[in-house]
Amino acid sequence: MRLLITNIKELYQVEGNDENRLVVAGRNMAVVPSIANAWLLTESGLIKDFGPMENVPADGFDETMDVTGRLVLPTWCDSHTHLVFAAPRDGEFVDRIRGLSYEAIAAKGGGILNSAAKLNEMSENELYHQSLVRLHKVIAQGTGAIEIKSGYGLCEEGELKMLRVIRKLKENSTIDIKATLLAAHAYPLEYKENKEGYIKLILDKILPRVADEGLADYMDVFCEEGFFSVADTERLLEAGWKYGLKPKIHANQLHYSGGVQVGVKNKALSVDHLECVGDAEIASLIGSNTMPVLLPGAAFFLGIQYQPARKIIDAGLPVCLATDYNPGSCPSGNVPLLLSIACTQLKMTPEEVVNAVTINGAAAMELQDTLGSIKRGKKANLIITRPMSTLAYIPYDYGNNPVDKVLINGVVV
């Protein structure tokens, strides 16, 4: 099938054949290259060609779509989610309003342990169907590639169940999905007094089985005071590498915990959260290939300090944004809303937030060769917006859905 999209008000994030922007960093984040009044041709699910309307092809297509007044962008790449979960946690939301902190709720057996109890009671099939509904919802909001973590099993069978659900989502979805093993998300209750026992269970049982069944692409650890220490994180990441799982870790959400440094030292693909980032963390990221991934949706929902995005960008580093979609700290996988929060609270510009969830989001999932920009030969995963004037209107129109149509592999979903 060859689809010709015409009269695009502005086609964003375009790249020439010879360009290869694998990551956008520092000052370059302020620019999203575009073509006004453009056309785009897809063929067999890929971007075949594009250009200004003066040169619109007269033939060589099967169907046309006139999108007068609308913008076209590559779909969002959401590189950090916990989309597979069994139940909402609105009770804890109310507890927090009344003054309990996220850590206090976790310490009394709520939080991640609450999610684990519910997940371990639910059948794999039911978990799959609930998760599929969430996946379809975020695709409709423009997400065209996603990473999903385990971490609510916290036992051998529970972690494997989650990863099998993610595999089934991969098999039955047209979007790219990356799976991450996050067995080291919290210590289960039965290991409260035997933390070493749980780490051994991950190292000796869970990790080998996950690797053997090819269930995960990446290895995550919640490196944080009260959760997994820097030393434990390092042991777990080294073990993950032995099984071919690259690190992608939760770091510096609640404290200056050394998480960023241990991630960089262990060649993490990304270090995620980063509410607590100062000069030492920035210095360790400079010159590394580790992507700083900011999750301001979680900071918003927990009412904690925001990530210092400006400081990171001004240091010449890239910034990636992701939703952190999960039942505790961010029950929303809505990328347009995330972009509004990043603009208003992190003081990122509309161009910076779009770079952060397209090219940089793709890089944080190693999908930069096939997704993240409008380039000939990349997948035709496209967002067609509602009629609007500029890119800035997307984060400006907060709480509303800017997306009219989503194309995945050239097909409207």
Question: Where along the sequence are the contacts to Fe ion (CB under 5 A)?
Answer: 324
Q: Which does residue 111 bind out of Fe ion, ligand NIG, none, counting CB within 5 to 8 angstroms by kind?
A: ligand NIG
Which residue number, 252 or 368, has a Cβ lying nearer to ligand NIG? Answer: 252
Between residue 99 and residue 138, which ones bind ligand NIG under the rule CB under 6 A? Answer: 111-112, 115
In angstroms, give the least distance from the CB of 6 to ligand NIG. Answer: 42
Residue pair 65/3 in contact by the 8 Å Cβ criterion: yes
Give me the least distance between CB of 343 and ligand NIG, in Å please.
21
User: Buried (b) or exposed (e) across 376-391, using 16+ Cβ within 10 A?
Assistant: eebbbbbbbbbebeeb
Instruction: Tell whether residue 21 is a contact of ligand NIG (CB under 6 A).
Output: no
- Listed as own residue / partner, the contacts of 366-369 with beta carbons closer than 8 Å and 24 or more positions apart are 366/178, 366/269, 367/77, 367/145, 367/176, 367/178, 368/22, 368/23
Judged by beta carbon distances under 5 to 8 A according to partner kind, the member of Fe ion, ligand NIG, none in contact with residue 222 is ligand NIG
Binding-site partner at residue 405 among Fe ion, ligand NIG, none, CB < 5 to 8 Å by type = none
Q: Which of residues 165-224 bind ligand NIG (CB under 6 A)?
A: 222
Does 83 contact ligand NIG by CB under 6 A? no
From candidates 23, 166, 206, 298, binder to ligand NIG by CB under 6 A? 298
- Whose Cβ is closer to ligand NIG: residue 13's or residue 290's? 290
Closest contact distance (angstroms) between CB of 189 and ligand NIG is 15
In the complex with Fe ion, which residue's Cβ is closer, 10 or 324? 324
Among residues 322 and 383, whose Cβ is nearest to Fe ion?
A: 322
Residue 249 interacts with ligand NIG (CB under 6 A): yes or no: no
Q: Which is nearer to ligand NIG, 64 or 101 (CB)?
A: 101
Residue 271 engages ligand NIG in binding (rule: CB under 6 A): no
- Check binding of 229 to ligand NIG (CB under 6 A): no
Q: Please, which of residues 303-362 interact with ligand NIG by CB under 6 A?
A: 324, 326-329
- Comparing CB distances to ligand NIG, the nearer of 256 and 393 is 256
Nearer to ligand NIG (CB atom), residue 131 or residue 329: 329
> Closer CB to Fe ion, residue 324 or residue 351?
324
Measured CA to CA, the distance from residue 206 to residue 218 in angstroms comes to 14
| Backbone angles phi and psi of 42, in degrees to 5 | -105, 150
Task: Return the number of the residue (324 or 352) whose C-beta is nearest Fe ion.
Answer: 324
Nearest distance from C-beta of residue 30 to ligand NIG, angstroms? 28
From the CB of 152, what's the least distance to Fe ion, in Å?
11
CB-closest chain residue to ligand NIG: 328
Partner from ligand NIG, Fe ion, none binding residue 329, C-beta < 5-8 Å depending on class: ligand NIG
Q: Is 78 in the site for ligand NIG (CB under 6 A)?
A: no
Residues near ligand NIG (CB under 6 A) are 82, 111-112, 115, 222, 250, 253, 298, 324, 326-329
